[in-house]
Chains A and B, each alone.
Chain A
Amino acid sequence: MVNLTLKERLKRTLNGKTVDKAPVLAVTQTGTKELMSLTKYYWPDANWNPKALAQLAISAHKEIGFEAVRIPYCLTVLLEALGCEIEKGDTTRQAAVKGHPYNSRKPVPIGKVPETILSSGRIPIMIEAIKIIKDIVGDDVPIIAGSEGPVTIASGLVEVTTLMRWFIREKEGLLEYLQYGSDAMISYANALLDAGADAFVVLDPVASPELISPKDFNDLVLPIYKDISKKIKGDGILHICGDITAILPSLKESGFIGLSIEEKTDMKEAKDTLGEKIKLIGNISTSKTLLNGTYNEVYEECITALEKGTDVLAPGCGLAPMTPIKNCIAMIDARNDYFKK
């Protein structure tokens, strides 16, 4: 087990092979204000510039020690390419979707994903950024790309409360939109994997049982996930926010090889339900400890997460921009100490 590269360690971990220690990294956004100050690449502009995207992402690997480079910093790239108006945000505020082009009580037929999708919006910038990252970090450091998942895409296209009502009133239209989001996301994911990304994270906060029922999730969303995990040409990871304990049995059948969870989902309970079928990633609190806690509190939480069986030690969600680098380093230290024989 000597001399595993970071990429080999992550790949082996996700694919259920033995490793010397759990990788420590983020599958969610890593841009923080301190990293922006260090690199001099700031939000919001960094979201629209491939070099800035690459350098800010690499800094989380170089300055913190996360064992992967992860882009982008928001959940708007694909939605922008699909025609949503974007609010750019600022240094401490993520870009967010502002306009919902398909908001309508009755679903408007949405048709097929435009063939030009991969040259739309910021998608070419993301592809370029991945190539730059690969040139700089080489072949040994994994690159993780992520995007909004199908339910979140649909919620961006039609507005979330409208979409929620469709779950009951307009199931057919809902499924059409979920399929549309899924088709768009699969081409996007595969383009980024072709460009050099090693893993792809589907981030789907709107699919959380904090919003929709586990039954709706199982009946309407799970089949879409199964299709996505089959069609993504690389290691597929799923991230859903909130307490997702209720949908863990469904997720076991989703086909993803990694599941990223927040601290609201208990790591041990997740492990007990999923067994070795899906590798668990998480679940250090981005709010309670990483942002608002101390180095020691983060350290302790990491040891607990490792004891409870996390396969990849990671923040439970996107890092808050004001998160201190020092608190993130506690994650690296805790992992190193835990695996010291």
Chain B
Amino acid sequence: MKILGVSMVSKEEILEGLAKAVIDGDEVKSEELAKKSLEIGIDPYESLMNGCNKGMAKVSDLYELKEMFVPEILLSADAMYAAIDILKPHLKVDASAKKPAKVVIGVAQGDIHDIGKNLVKMMLEVAGFIMIDVGKDVPVDTFVKKTIEEDADIVAISALMTTSMMYMEPVIKKLKENFVKAKVVVGGAPINNDFANKIGADGYGKDAVEAVKVSKKLVGV
């Protein structure tokens, strides 16, 4: 069966294959399928949404169910980004589309542990946010400056160490002093809901999946 010149069977096969390659963390396969999708004329946006992102959504479910762990997720991310690198140059920019929300994300001052931050970044990216990654061991002022510069909607700060969680509150205070409206989401091993409330954060995610839910809620998507 052919509609608009694209073979339906192979299109479905490719999208499903892309999702599976992402779930399996098979970057060779995902790259191959992304190329194939362009060859047979599948809209790259569709490959992205119904292939890569669909796979990553499943990965996020499996992570929440504790059936996938960090090694598996990292390989899934590798596979996803391998496909995105191929698809991205061919994506058409839709000028009429609603501007996606922007997140400045980084690890608090004094902390170099960024696995958690990177997982959150990736899952937010998949959820449609534009991510501005300011890295690890990020000084308070850098968070504030970047948020203003980028006119970000959300600032996401993570910390693994009890020494670094203390640098979250100053970011929130300085944002307020500068009348920045961006919402602040915090997370990381020593953080809990009480602490997030105490320092005046707008949201807390106990893991990457929750961070996405909270962020979506904060920007109303």
Contact = CB atoms under 8 A, between A and B. Distances in A.
A336 B82 CA distance: 59
Interface of A is mostly: loop
B75 A211 contact: no
User: What is the size category of the interface that chain A forms with chain B?
Assistant: 20 to 34
Contacts of B113: 160
Given A167-B71, A213-B72, A287 B110 contact: no
A92 interface: yes
B142 interface: no
A321 B70 contact: no
Nearest to A165: B74
A36 to B, nearest CB: 13
Interface in B106-134: 110, 112-113, 115, 118
A19 interface: no
Nearest to B109: A93
Contact of A287 (B68, B72, B78, B162): B162
Contacts of B69: 209, 211-213, 216
Contacts of B198: 292
B72 A168 contact: yes
B71 A212 contact: yes
Nearest to B159: A287
A156 to B, nearest CB: 11
A212 B112 CA distance: 19
Interface stretch (B10-18, B90-98, B172-180, B189-197): B189-197
A286 B25 CA distance: 36
A213 B71 contact: yes
Given A93-B110, A242-B189, A288-B192, A164 B71 contact: yes
Given A92-B163, A167-B71, A291-B162, A211 B115 contact: yes
Nearest to A318: B162
Contacts of B190: 286-287, 320
A161 interface: yes
Contacts of B156: none
B75 to A, nearest CB: 6
A286 B69 CA distance: 25
Interface in A207-236: 209-213, 216
A112 B113 CA distance: 29
B71 A288 contact: no
A239 B163 CA distance: 19
A169 interface: yes
6 contacts: A92-B163, A168-B72, A246-B66, A287-B195, A320-B190, A322-B162
Interface of A: 87, 92-94, 96, 98, 160-161, 164-165, 167-169, 209-213, 216, 241-242, 246, 286-288, 291-292, 317-318, 320-322
